[in-house]
Structure 1
Amino acid sequence: MTIHLLGTGASVSDVDRTTTMLAFEEAEQFFLVDCGADAARELARAELDPTRLEAIVLTHEHPDHVSGFALLIEKMWLLGRREPIPVYGPASAIQVAQTCFGAYATDRWEGLPAREYHEIPMASGELVFETDAFRVTSSPVDHPVPTVGLRVETTSGAIAAYSADTAKVDAVVDLARGASVLVHEATGHLPGVHASAEEAAETARDAGVDRLLLVHIPPGCSDDDLVTARSIFPHTSWGHDGQAVSVQSSEAAPLAPEARSIPL
């Protein structure tokens, strides 16, 4: 499996990052998680054809995760997509996506792909969807609006987890158990809202993952934050926009600490 970090920034971030969005790819299939910015552009940068998107998962309703939904559907249509596109998310995220798209007059857009909406129940271990390449499950996390973290398993045996936006919470530990890679937000310590890099490292340690990638990074984070996180979980790195991360069924070589200063 390959995790494409299409964006790694918070709702406000520096000029090198756009909002956090991910694509998971396996056996020429891929799906998108969140679309707060121009997801079609970032998919193309990753050499993934937006018209071949298997599904869209919206982790929650906030603008930096949903506001690009209408643009993504428009671009997919203009690029030739005609097949329906499944869209999964908590009920509130689905409602926001429908409302945003419904604001546009699309009745004359001949061939516009149907959006097939599927509500994710707010319960632990819910099956989101399953294909011949992926099995995706979810659990609620700790954020001011209904939000789900994800566990992604492939038929090849690769396992990854994504925290979504959340304060430190045991649900992410459970999602990440046995995973090779945990992608975790690191906005900063804010109880009930967001987690710090240090707290993400504690979660990675407790889950027993091989690697931790930090995303949802706001301005002001420094290498000191990374040093602190690595003192708890050594195999921690900042995620970067455009980064492609290979996830094997068992990580043969954990990520070595980087000697250079890491750009933010």
Structure 2
Amino acid sequence: MRTTIRDVIAAVTGPAGPVGQTVDGLLSGDPDDEVKGIVTAFMPSQRVLEEARASGANLVIAHEGPFYSHHLSFAKTIADDPVYRAKSGFIRESGLAVYRLHDHIHRYSPDGIAEGLLEALGWTHDRVRHEPEAAIIEREPTTVRAVAGELKLRLGLRFVRVAGDPDAPCRRIGLLVGYRGGGANAIPLFGREGVDLVICGEGPEWEAPEYARDAARQGRAKALIAIGHGESERPGMRLLARRLAALFPHIPVRAADEEPVFTWL
């Protein structure tokens, strides 16, 4: 059975329905080439690309773009940068097709990236509602500190960052993946949704984390846990790999083994 890159793109974009202006698209490669292997990744880092080629895969589906900005146009700004030139040259010479899947997977119902995180945490059945930007979770009463420990265990994290009272009681949680942890998304969840805790990937440190710190100072049992952008979104790309393997059982599919971007000294 011959499956083309175009066929796989249709499979990963179809569940979202029509999406208007988007950063998604095939960044390299020929859509009519036959797919020999697929690698999914949060970030198409140099390492991920090299290992994809070494594995014999010829299609990388990445959530973020390869050139250090949300918008591909930034590549023009760094066109003469040696790191950019080496990476873009590697992509070109390797023959890898790189497809960015950002907006479409977030438009799945429910959000495909958030769904992967919920599944990894074992919280799928604790979700009481899924808004466009956030999942609302209700669990048995616990503490923020205990939830932090569970996040570390389930996601294999060495640490998480907590703002607010780590020993506050916690039952209702707002879950925000990626860069959705800014104040405009996170702060209303404490009031409108009555959450005790917001868990996010990342966001400006002077917005929602400072709100949580002030709330704790005022004696309000509120907290925020930031687990990292990639840490919150990699499970969604792993879920995508499992779904693609089921759709295309004749094609080798794997999720990239990605390391944290930061080394803590």
TM-score, normalisation: structure 1: 0.34
Relative contact order (C-alpha < 8 Å, sep 6+): which is higher? 2
Whose Rg is larger? 2
| Greater helix content | 2
| Greater strand content | 1
TM-score, normalisation: structure 2: 0.33
